Amino acid sequence: MNTPRIAFLGLGIMGGGMARRLLGAGFPVAVFNRNPARSAALAAAGAHPVSTPREAATGADVVICMVADDAASRAMWLGADGALAGARKGAVLVDSSTLTITWVKELAAAAQSRGCDFLDAPVTGSKLAAAGGELNFLVGGDAAALEKARPVLAPMSRSIVHLGPTGSGALIKLVNNFVCGVHVVAIAEALDWVERSGLDRAQALEFLLAGASGSPIAKTVAARMAAPDYTPHFFLSLMTKDLGYAVQERAAAGGKLATAQAALEVFRRAIAAGHGDKDMAAVVEPLRSA
């Protein structure tokens, strides 16, 4: 494809940065967001705001969706005003949202019925990685379709990994976020324990984070918890959703994620306490106030 035309659906913390990367790389980009103010903000950078996902997808070579969950993804793709209704035959449809495998496979089948290629391509990395083109794409779907889309994914990415058939990207993303969510809760509980113990918090954290327990996500969220600074980089509500999806999908496959279930309960308490719209590091606050 010579300078592919792009449709980008969803301009939140992640999607806004991703769309800006595509505009900076010189692609023509039509954008849709449920809150039109976010689309209008990108118009100054050269985006073409439209009023429906269908309008965005009409004439596009690659359609990318980046939204919160299955329900938001369905709303973008399906229905009379959905992107599938406007997608041309041969277009590559990419959903980079963190979704259930069940919905991903349903969406792939719907795309195929329209004569389109489909890739589930969720990402790792948060707000700064999206803005800086440092995301890691975890891709499921046909390898030839990925090669068609690769020039479009490249400006947004540090790496693009093809993991296998449809659903493979969605699966590894849920596995990844389940592990991350458990780490976040473990650090929250450890920090709360340290703070109640009389230990020097800075010294204790320095020791914990320099050793085996100092995973990259532990270091990131520990700093935010200690500050405290809950400016959203990854919404607490979205990690709660991801843990729920992971538990659900593992159960559907006949297994159980005991640690994910335990972490999910802690995140749900944080949402009940009013922290859902904050960074996921805010999961520590209900522990501190208990």
Per residue of the chain (290 residues), give pLDDT as tens.
589 999 999 999 999 999 999 999 999 999 999 999 999 999 999 999 999 999 999 999 999 999 999 999 999 999 999 999 999 999 999 999 999 999 999 999 999 999 999 999 999 999 999 999 999 999 999 999 999 999 999 999 999 999 999 999 999 999 999 999 999 999 999 999 999 999 999 999 999 999 999 999 999 999 999 999 999 999 999 999 999 999 999 999 999 999 999 999 999 999 999 999 999 999 999 999 99
pLDDT value of residue 2: 81
CATH number of residue 75's parent domain: 3.40.50.720
223/91 same-domain check: no
The active-site residue, picked from 173, 219, 241, 278, is: 173
152/284 same-domain check: no
151/175 same-domain check: no
Decide which of 145, 165, 185 is a domain's last residue. 165
Judge if the upstream peptide bond of residue 36 is cis by omega within 30 degrees of 0.
no
**Residue 224: inside a domain:** yes
160/61 same-domain check: yes
> How many domains would you assign to the chain?
2
105/236 same-domain check: no
pLDDT value of residue 182: 98
**Residue 1: inside a domain:** no
Global pTM value: 0.96
Tokens matching residue 234 = 């990854």
180/149 same-domain check: no
pLDDT value of residue 84: 98
30/147 same-domain check: yes
87: which DSSP letter? P
Unique residue bearing structure tokens 């279930």: 261
30/74 same-domain check: yes
CATH number of residue 244's parent domain: 1.10.1040.10
**Residue 88: inside a domain:** yes
Decide which of 111, 139, 165 is a domain's last residue. 165
Tokens matching residue 246 = 């992971």
190/226 same-domain check: yes
227/135 same-domain check: no
Decide which of 165, 199, 228 is a domain's last residue. 165
pLDDT value of residue 242: 98
Contact 118, 93 (CB under 8 A): yes
Is 173 among the catalytic positions? yes
154/175 same-domain check: no
155/195 same-domain check: no
Contact 44, 24 (CB under 8 A): no
Burial of 181 (0-12, 13-18, 19+ CB in 10 A): buried
C-alpha dist (Å) from residue 216 to 10, 32, 84, 271? 28, 33, 38, 24
> Which structural domain, as residue segments, surrounds residue 208?
171-289
